[in-house]
Structure 1
Amino acid sequence: MLQTADNRKRVAIVGGGAAGMSAAYALSLCPGKFEVVLFERSSSPGGMATSIPINAKKYGASYINDGVQGGSPVFGNTYSMFEKLGCTPSDVGFQISFGREVGEDYWSNVFPAALLDQHKDSINKFSTFLKVTSNPVLEPVFGLMPIHLSLTLFRFPKAFAEALVFPLVALFMGTGNQTPYVSTAIVERLFTDKSMRLFDYSKESFVNGIPEMRAFPCLGEVYRRWKKEVESRGNVEVRLQVEVTGMQRSVKYVNQSNGQRREGVKIYSSATLGTNSDQEIEGYAGAETEEMFSDVIIACDADAALKVLGKDASWMEKKVLGNVKYLWDITVTHNDLGYLEKYYRVRFSDDLPSKKRLAEGDEETKKAVEFAKDNFKPLYYVRSYPEDKKKIEMSFDLTNYQPQFKGESPFGPVTMSDSATDDDQANDGRAASAPDARRSTHAESLADGELPPLEDHVFQTIFLDKDGSGGMWTKGEIDKEKVIGEKWWKQQSHRWQHYAGTVPWMMFLNGKRHTYFAGAWTILNMHEIAVCSGLGAAYRLGAPYPFTDKPEELCGRLFKLTLGVNHGVRVRKEDRDGFIA
């Protein structure tokens, strides 16, 4: 056990995902103020941000990131953390292919398609929709109004919503089949907020061109280094394969070193055998133990938080956290090109672009088509189920998306730091065996930056909402011989009720009874929000905000917004310019 100085707070963190690890990092910067124990029930930190090994000889790379692929260039706190770990993301063009049937549901952001011509008036009208819904006076109303209702209120055709709006928002937010029930204000922010948006709205093509996306480095390696970093100052201990089984708060105890009476949190925990692909504990490896802490940061999902709190949960905690709805999705990672070609447009063909715009001699369309002929490489595919077009399936081309297939290091496009050792490069079961261990057999003949042929690409298809949409899944059509792996994921729903019954009430829970909550679920399911929420919880306890040296618009703005929403407080006087900022 770590020895605690009399004046140090002893903090427990429950969960080793992005939020928990961010909180641990901020607290680690003050070894004289905090002693920290982070509990993670699985065998590695990262939460949903995981990497798995694949057959390099067969697929041209030795690993994939299988839960989180990348993010917007404005994820400043995430990338600043990566930078401190000697890792960087890679730029990639964010190409998307929606639907399959020309004139019915097919469109892309790479070039204008016929579907955009059909919905020209609605696309133009969407500009007014964004202006009205972004009005500060009306924002509280639209914050509680689901997007399907507001689109109906503005008299948008059902086909426009189902073919363009819902698939795009589902892709933005990972909301899947709950997209029609997402808050209108959140959808508006995805187009207008500089800390959240990915696409710029266009009156001509709905979204403006191919934005820059950032593909993450090997996340198994990122989080391995992250663990090493937070433990390097001696005041943080990360306990893997240990599950918090319960807690009691407001417990009175006597500090044995000075005899002072204190109030804190009693944590009960048990060693585990790790978790499986169904996100379940494989078993327990020891008896339950108990420890006292001064404060606790609960950085797991809301369901798990309530389970950990048990009978100690307050009425308000039960209402606010119990309002968070979760759905079960399954990802199938595979190499079945036939499945992709059956349900999506994987290759460019002359029938896909708008014939009307080409006939009119539109120069922008001509340029886009010429580009697509040699460079059509979608990262994402989205289709609606014919039985219910509000419900969707998504697929990724991981070979197009992830930089290791182009010969890049698991650490990203950086020179490895001088402190990196052979151990840093070693295969720990999650990262690639070495940065140069990517090419083999047929892939060895490929130059760096050149991708394997389409037949050798690695795809991932996500089947969403088992309970609500499982009957429409086509999972059984994927060739079992070409399946690389399957994994279940517990996904938060972004329905409007989340922004009525959970988000605005978190500030009234945080700080009560020595308890702080952190996680993307507190606002919006993004890695960047998870990082900011973890930093915010640590900040409330007195830790510094670690990225004050970065531009305000890159990092500080979203951190301050998250802190305000989650905790109802401003940053400390020394961290702000003026009374409000």
Structure 2
Amino acid sequence: MVLFDCAQGGAGGAVATVNVADAAKGDGMSTAKPAGAAGMACAYSLSRHPEKFDCEVWEALPTAGGVATSCVVKSSDGMEFEMNDQVQGGVPSYRNNLLMFEEFGFKSSPLKFRVCFGKGDNAWTNHSPSKLAERLQPEIEKFGKALKWISRFEFIFVFVPINKVLKWWGFSDDFANRMVFPLTALFFGTGNQTPYVSAAIIARVFRDKELALFHYSAERLLHGEPDVFAFENLENIFTTIAKKIPARVFVNRPVASVERGPKVTRVTDKFGRVAEFDDVVFTCSTEVTRDVLKSPSWLERKLLANVRYFDDLIVTHEDHDYMEKEYEMHAADNEDMYFIRTDPEDPSKVEMSFNLSMYQPHLLDAKGARRNLYQTIFLDARGKDRWTIDAIDEKKILKKRWTRQFAHTWTHFAKWVPFVRFIQNTKRTWYAGAVTVANTHEVAVMSGFAVAHRLGAPFPYFHDPLAYSQMKLFMSVTHGTSLPLPKEFKNKHKAS
């Protein structure tokens, strides 16, 4: 899970609305969505055509941004630090996300990704040799061959959990528990479901030509330190977008019900206020959608119930002693970002921490020295009796926050993702958000652009080959439609 990003878009049950001027009829058309990354991307794209669209965004939370929040914490010595909370950054392939933020004047900060897994003799990293990698090197090499087969038959392995693949091909429990599952937890760890993540998704992490997060190494599994980036203050970013686009963005406006009629959809908020729209875009969790959507179709009811959610606890603290006890901290000047802890009694379960100061360069003390602030993520509240949270000095805890996210289990890709296309535009209702595919900020942004494109607001980044290629694939998966490249951009794409 760790997550460069963990965007689910408006998890509080917001709905946004877009009114589109119909040139033929002269009346208004509307759409609805929350103000997370997906909702704001959709609203931004629609708002680029004010002559066609009149857009509203309803967000349950106090600020736009969904799970991409920022906050101020006060340290034990009274210093205050401004930080991004939960969503931190991403990889350079997040082109749609980066391009949208750049349009509003926000740049990302380039970084090198460093991670340490395990502790003691079971510790290994992506940047230096280790005893564990040396001992398991034959299996690491074998895993590389397995990844090739998984990629070749992706249409099959997308429905197979990684733990099954490892058992079928004779990998040891040590390799699975010490290397593969902790690595999987980095991006897909929500709810401690790493053994059940789709094998095909893990293969893409290594082998996707455009979107791979890591380079495979036959010696130590991960090769080198990938380029990543950190976001600027996310609350500032989304507040700025909300102010600058023509759409009307309402915060603190949770939705109570959505009732679809033959011609219009009635949306009622928790305060009893009612508005009517032609189209509705849900960019909240499927749980919220199920709660507020009245009279869903049979297929909507079945599919929305197929997404599984888990409760995780995020603790922001500055207990370095706890970190040294539970994780491998190589030195006082350790520059690792992420740390993964494997439960010694149940190695299939992990906890994860990261050093916020390695992601947020502005976290300096009064003397300009780096101030180590940590976030530890405890996964799946159902297993909280095994959490190490009690080992953190309560006096050094700066903030606690619960989060509820969907898991990337194989069932997510077998019982939900392939079928989302079939409920798009059901009674002029649309579905967006990272939940449509995978929990990243890039997916969330693309999902908003996709719905806007279907409604008549052309995809804004045809000029960028990588942004376009990702969007083209996303549209085919979640909408079952193509995204033809306009003629004026074809020569540029060929040249690239």
| Fold-level similarity (TM above 0.5) | yes
Identity across matched positions, percent: 36
Query: What residue number does 1:335 align with?
Result: 318
Q: Which amino acid aligns with 2:158?
A: G
Is 1:203 aligned to residue 218 of structure 2? Answer: yes
Cα RMSD between the aligned structures?
2.1
Is 1:106 aligned to residue 123 of structure 2? Answer: yes
What is the TM-score of this pair, normalised by structure 2? 0.91
Deviations 1:350-375 (A, max 9, x none): xxxxxxxxxxxxxxxxxxxxxxxx96
Give how far 1:577 is off: 5.1
- Maintained 8 Å contact 1:55/1:61: yes
- 381, 392, 400: which one pairs with 1:486? 400
What is the TM-score of this pair, normalised by structure 1? 0.78
Query: What residue number does 1:7 align with?
Result: 26
Q: Which amino acid aligns with 1:225?
A: T
- 462, 467, 470: which one pairs with 1:548? 462
Per the alignment, in what secondary structure is the counterpart of residue 399 of structure 1? Answer: helix
**Change in 2 beyond 3 A, CA 1:535/1:58:** farther
- 334, 338, 355: which one pairs with 1:380? 338
- Maintained 8 Å contact 1:174/1:525: no
- Maintained 8 Å contact 1:176/1:392: no
Query: What residue number does 1:241 align with?
Result: 252
Give how far 1:405 is off: 2.1
Query: What residue number does 2:9 align with?
Result: none
Give how far 1:119 is off: 0.3
Distance in 1 between the 2:19 and 2:344 partners? 61
The structure that has the greater radius of gyration is: 1
- Maintained 8 Å contact 1:8/1:33: no
Query: What residue number does 2:244 align with?
Result: 229
Taking the TM superposition and a 5 Å limit, the aligned residue runs for 1:225-374 are 225-231=240-246, 236-249=247-260, 251-252=261-262, 263-270=263-270, 286=271, 288-310=272-294, 312-348=295-331
**Change in 2 beyond 3 A, CA 1:573/1:294:** farther
Distance in 1 between the 2:477 and 2:86 partners? 26
Distance in 1 between the 2:235 and 2:61 partners? 13
Query: What residue number does 2:436 align with?
Result: 522
Query: What residue number does 1:444 align with?
Result: 366
Taking the TM superposition and a 5 Å limit, the aligned residue runs for 1:9-158 are 9-55=28-74, 58=77, 62-102=81-121, 105-135=122-152, 138-158=153-173
- Maintained 8 Å contact 1:7/1:33: no
Distance in 1 between the 2:190 and 2:223 partners? 22
Distance in 1 between the 2:224 and 2:312 partners? 30
Q: Which amino acid aligns with 2:468?
A: G
- Maintained 8 Å contact 2:73/2:399: no
Query: What residue number does 1:275 align with?
Result: none
Query: What residue number does 2:483 align with?
Result: 571
Per the alignment, in what secondary structure is the counterpart of residue 12 of structure 1? Answer: coil
Q: Which amino acid aligns with 1:224?
A: T
Per the alignment, in what secondary structure is the counterpart of residue 489 of structure 1? Answer: strand
Query: What residue number does 1:183 align with?
Result: 198
Query: What residue number does 2:389 align with?
Result: 475
Give how far 1:96 is off: 0.7
Per the alignment, in what secondary structure is the counterpart of residue 237 of structure 2? Answer: helix
Give the number of equivalent residue pairs.
472
Query: What residue number does 2:5 align with?
Result: none
Deviations 1:26-77 (A, max 9, x none): 0001111111111101110111100001238958763111110111111111
Distance in 2 between the 1:540 and 1:237 partners? 21
Distance in 1 between the 2:366 and 2:436 partners? 46
- Maintained 8 Å contact 2:19/2:30: no
Structure 2: which 5+ residue stretches go unaligned? Answer: 1-16
Distance in 1 between the 2:452 and 2:136 partners? 48
- Maintained 8 Å contact 1:18/1:46: yes
Deviant stretches of 4+, over 4 Å: 1-6, 56-61, 575-578
Give how far 1:174 is off: 3.9
Deviations 1:458-492 (A, max 9, x none): 1110000001x211011122111111100000111
Distance in 2 between the 1:174 and 1:90 partners? 25
Q: Which amino acid aligns with 2:296?
A: A
